[in-house]
Each structure stands twice: as structure tokens, then as C-alpha cells.
Amino acid sequence: MEFLSGIIQLLIVLFIETAFLSRTLSPRWFNKKVLIAVFMANLASTVAGMLGILIWIDELVLRLWGNGMDIKTFYESKSHQLIVYLLAFVMTLLIEIPVNSWFLKKHFPNKRIILFTIFANLITYSLLAFYYIIYV
């Protein structure tokens, strides 16, 4: 069930980011070029997360902010979750900005691509945070 929930969340993120970037970069709500870029950027950041970037982030957070806690207690703490979430947001931007720029640089100004990629991720990360606070 968690896998299905994750797929649904990813589809919602793709929809929101595509609509937002399409509308802010072009006069349309859905632009095919933006859809492809957003899909590839999210695929890249999802695969990177699955391959261990977030595991590395967990290890970094435990070493820097763990204060001698055992790993189970630390992972269950709200401070750990917040720090990992913020670092995951930064890692997402470090992956998605170059991917979106590479796919869209011929069609839109790079400064706008960067700025609106950040805004799109702020929107989706905020909505996901709200979801997790309310429902999880």
C-alpha cells in the first residue's frame, strides 16, 4: 500500500510541477517540452534517492546532529525527519535544476527555468509536508 501511495504522490508532484512550470514559462497550462523535462528531472531525483543519496543524507544527519542517540531513536525523532526533509529538498534542487535547464534552455531563459524550478519544488514539498503532518 505504501508503494501505491508513493506512486500517487509522485504523479501529483508531476502534475503540479508541470502545470506550474508550463504556465510560468509559457502561456499554456501544459507544455509538452516542460512535461518531458519535469518527468526526466523527477525521474532523475527519484532514482538518485533510491540509489542511496538519502541514505548518505541520513548518515550525515546522524553524525552531525545525532548527539549520541542510538540510530532507532534518532530516526524516529521529528528533528531528524525535518533535517532529512530539508536536505532532500536541497538535493532535489541540485538534480532537477540542471536537468530542467538542459531540456528547456533552447526554449526559455535559463534564469526563469532555475527560479520557477525552485518555486515549483517549494510548492510540492510544502504540500507533501502538510500531507505528512496531517495524515502520517
Question: What one-character DSSP code corresponds to residue 69?
Answer: -
Give domain limits for the chain.
2-135
Q: Which helix (H) or strand (E) holds 98?
A: helix 78-104
Using a CB cutoff of 8 Å and minimum separation of 24, what contacts does 10-15 make? 10/42, 10/46, 12/124, 12/127, 13/42, 13/124, 13/128, 14/38, 14/39, 14/42
CB 22 within 8 A of CB 116: no
- Digit-by-digit pLDDT tens for the chain (136 residues) are 566 777 788 888 888 888 898 999 888 888 889 989 998 998 898 888 777 665 666 676 666 665 666 556 666 666 667 777 788 888 899 999 999 999 999 999 999 999 999 999 999 999 888 877 777 6
pTM: 0.79
Handedness of CA 61, 127, 10, 41 (dihedral sign): negative
Instruction: State the pLDDT at residue 84.
Output: 72
At 121, the amino acid letter reads: N
